[in-house]
Chains A and B, each alone.
Chain A
Amino acid sequence: MNGGVDLHREFQLRWFAGDAPTVYDLDTPYLESRLSHHIRHISHKNQPESSRIMSTVEAEPQTSTDLKIVEDATCTFCGCVCDDMVLTVEGNRITKAKNACILGKAWFFNHHIEDRPDATIEGQPASYEDAIERAAQILVNAQYPVTYGLSDTTSEAQRVAVAISDWIGGNVDTTTSVCHGPSGMAFQGVGEVTCTLGEIKNRADYLIFWGGNPAESHPRHFTKYSLMPKGEFVPNGRKDRTAVLIDVRRTKSAKAADIFLQIKPRSDFELAWALRGLAKGIDPDPSVEEKTGISVEQLKQVMDGMKAAKFGAILFGMGVTMTRGKHLNSEAVLALARDMNRHTRWVAKPMRGHGNVTGADNVVSWSTGYPFGVNLCRGYPRFNPGEFTTSDLLARKEADAALIIASDPMSNFSQPARDHLASINSVVLDPKLSDTAKVATVAFTTSTYGINTGGTVYRMDDVPIPLRPAFESPYRSDYEILKAILKRIREIQLQAGS
């Protein structure tokens, strides 16, 4: 770095990029030594054949003779980030994943080394060096670049992505904006009465699952954290808990509930407000039944149970946030939990989907002050969902370049947003081929976090969890690629005197 660099900015860069002295780097022996005692090497010959082959796709014969057991590994497929996995690793394939659910098993068994180039430029295989150069040029020369994704990567990589967005004066947003972004807005409006999943496990005797289907989306939530486990104040586990499911569909989760309220579509807001009224002793108008499909009598029965509980938890999903009303729906649910604290202890937690989407919220929040949809064009952060959120920036054709990390907006954004994304320069990092990687100007194949790459992720209750990788990948991690892009961006900017 030359003497003309603004010292404050330089410190900011080092801090965001993970170089600050108080933060350990992924390459340090310190982290390795922390991880190594969780790994045991075992001779392959002693293992029965049946215990070695298990995959949702056909397993290829292994040539490696070493069998490795990784204990306390973390599954990063969903927001539960269960950290009690025991992985059996043969060469570069995981053949057993003890304690994993069906989704976790699919995650571990199908992430092996793909036969793809390290990087492509306009669809043609390219070296890392050329791809990093092109990526840096695209981002540094853009008028309004947007950084997006980040929910399936480590928090170490997330902070580098924020630093890049800051240095190029762009926009940083995460998949939260199309997931629980409305809940993020609602937190700012009414706050969040919160707790950890450990408290729910040990205390909650009344659970309301609202607009979510944990049996299919977070299969171990019921068994590890909420419904089934025996806890300190619920020693009989399931028998000590009452479970309510509120949903428009009779999903697989309905079987697990004691009370199922099948509401009419788009009536979460009215239902939450009817319950808020009852919490304050005000009977709702009988027309609530016509609107929500739930009678006042049923609502009173649920409210009586809620008031009698010692510790209640509302766990709400995207049925609340993705339906018309969005942040107002989340706000009503959060406010209901707050109101219930006049009677007894109640909390409300969003059920988060991707493995480190909660980390994305945390990192963007402690870096910029806001959780998602942050604009850094003026040199200071501005937050405005609807203006600085990626779906809008693309649909309105405002962004002229994109840096997309571990996300596939080309398969889940609205058509106008997808059309624009396909028409601009983009840099995409993903372990697997995706529709977004296919339209990218520069696409990097990356190693998979949690399987090949260590680091930190945040569980859905904001608890940080370390990763214990199973085997090495020939591909670089998001963190390494983003740091290389950032370094090159700064070199270009310093040469240009900015």
Chain B
Amino acid sequence: MAVEFILIPGRTSRQGTSLNEGKYTATYQEEINTLRMNPDDMQQMQISAGDQVRMWNDFGEVTVPCISGKDELPQGLLFISYGDKSSQLMPGETHGTGMPDSKGLDVFVEKV
């Protein structure tokens, strides 16, 4: 069953270090393609670490592995490193600012 979340794309230091090694290294790709979720939400949705989840909104859809965000994330909030996957869920509209809504995106998630 699909559950509604708020997605926060952001930067991590692992992304920063692996970026310098190259955007096509396994570490960088793993970092930008992994979703983090609150452990209680994972339990309620019966998601184990590494399970694939489908995440979508009005603008796009991605399938990514999900791991625990530990105590960093409260329930209802998701985190993913900026990159191709997060950009697919961003709107083209910028509401007259030049900046698309890039954090705080409404998304639905279900286990694949």
Contact = CB atoms under 8 A, between A and B. Distances in A.
Contacts of A250: 71-74
A445 interface: no
A220 interface: no
A498 interface: no
Residue from the set B24, B88, B93, B98 with the largest chain A CB neighbour count within 10 Å: B98
Nearest to B9: A322
B65 interface: no
A319 interface: yes
A56 B21 contact: yes
Contacts of A185: 97
Contacts of A372: 98
Q: Classify chain B: how many residues form its interface, as a range.
A: 35 or more
Nearest to A181: B98
A387 to B, nearest CB: 8
Contacts of B1: none
Interface string A285-316: 00000000000000000000000000000000
5 contacts: A110-B20, A250-B71, A322-B101, A411-B87, A414-B92
Interface string B88-112: 1011111111111111100000000
A111 B20 contact: yes
Q: Label chain B's interface by main secondary structure.
A: loop
A217 B16 contact: yes
A66 interface: no
B98 A418 contact: no
B13 interface: yes
Interface of A: 56-57, 77-78, 102-103, 105-107, 109-111, 173, 177-178, 181-182, 185, 213, 215-217, 219, 248-252, 262, 265-266, 318-319, 321-324, 326-327, 353, 372-373, 385-387, 389-392, 395-396, 408, 411-418, 432-435
Contacts of A326: 95, 97, 99
Nearest to B84: A411
B82 interface: yes
A106 B17 contact: yes
A413 B72 contact: no
A416 B87 CA distance: 10
